[in-house]
Structure 1
Amino acid sequence: MSWIFLLLAGTGEMFGMLFLKLSDGFRKRIPTLLAIVSGGLSLYFLSLSLKELPIGTAYGIWTGIGSVGTVLLGILLFNEKASVQRLFFIGCIIAGVVGLKLVS
């Protein structure tokens, strides 16, 4: 169950960043509220995952899911650059996350 909590935490982090972008510097109420709720849920699920997972592993995977997901959302929703180099380094993050899962 701890891995599911960690996946939910990473997803919450990703959506928290999306809503933070949409909040326009906290000027738009609904995206601001959604950013706060997403961030809070992300931390909550991360705390649940830490009951069983090592903190270094959980934190690395949480930030990896959030980072990769946020970059991909930026590419898909905000027409951010999807260069070969950028995609290569996303692959490096994914490899690191997989590696952390394998050694846990």
Structure 2
Amino acid sequence: MNWIILIIGGLFEVAFTFCLGKAKETTGGEMYLWYTGFVISLCMSMALLLKATQTLPMGTAYAVWTGIGAVGAVAVGILIFKEPATFLRLLFLTTLIGSIIGLKVVSH
């Protein structure tokens, strides 16, 4: 169950990265709505990480949580913010995903 909580926390990390990107693109009241989404997503992400680490090893949980956020942020950047999807970026993204899976597999 705590692995699911950790994954959801990682997805909230992706959400706060998305909100930050959208806030950068807007002005006025809409910008503050995106910043509000950023703060809410940040708090949810941290709270879920805290909950997950009650039973999961801290180092593994943190690495998986940040890995989900990093992979998700790059994916959002490529798919939504039209960042380049070069061969090397995708190669390193793939190795990061493999490392996250590896950490999950070797954790007790």
How would you bin the TM-score normalised by the shorter chain?
over 0.9
Query: What CA distance in whole angstroms lies between the structure 1 residues aligned with 2:26 and 2:104?
Result: 35
| TM-score, normalised via structure 2 length | 0.92
**2:83 equivalent to 1:56:** no
Equivalent AA in structure 2 for residue 8 of structure 1: I
Matched residue count: 104
- Give 1:25 deviation, angstroms: 8.6
Equivalent AA in structure 1 for residue 11 of structure 2: T
- Give 1:52 deviation, angstroms: 0.6
Residue 73 of structure 2 is matched in structure 1 by: 70
Q: Does the Cα contact within 8 Å between 1:12 and 1:41 map onto a contact in 2?
A: yes
- Give 1:94 deviation, angstroms: 0.4
Equivalent AA in structure 1 for residue 60 of structure 2: T
Q: Does the Cα contact within 8 Å between 1:20 and 1:26 map onto a contact in 2?
A: no
Residue 37 of structure 1 is matched in structure 2 by: 40
Q: Which runs of 4+ in 1 moved over 4 A?
A: none
Q: How large is the RMSD of aligned CA atoms in angstroms?
A: 1.4
Query: What CA distance in whole angstroms lies between the structure 2 residues aligned with 1:55 and 1:25?
Result: 35
Secondary structure of 2:51's counterpart equals helix
* Identical amino acids, percent of aligned pairs: 38
Higher mean displacement: 17-26 or 83-92: 17-26
Equivalent AA in structure 2 for residue 21 of structure 1: G
**Residues 54, 25 of structure 1: alpha-carbon distance in 2 compared, 3 angstrom cutoff:** farther
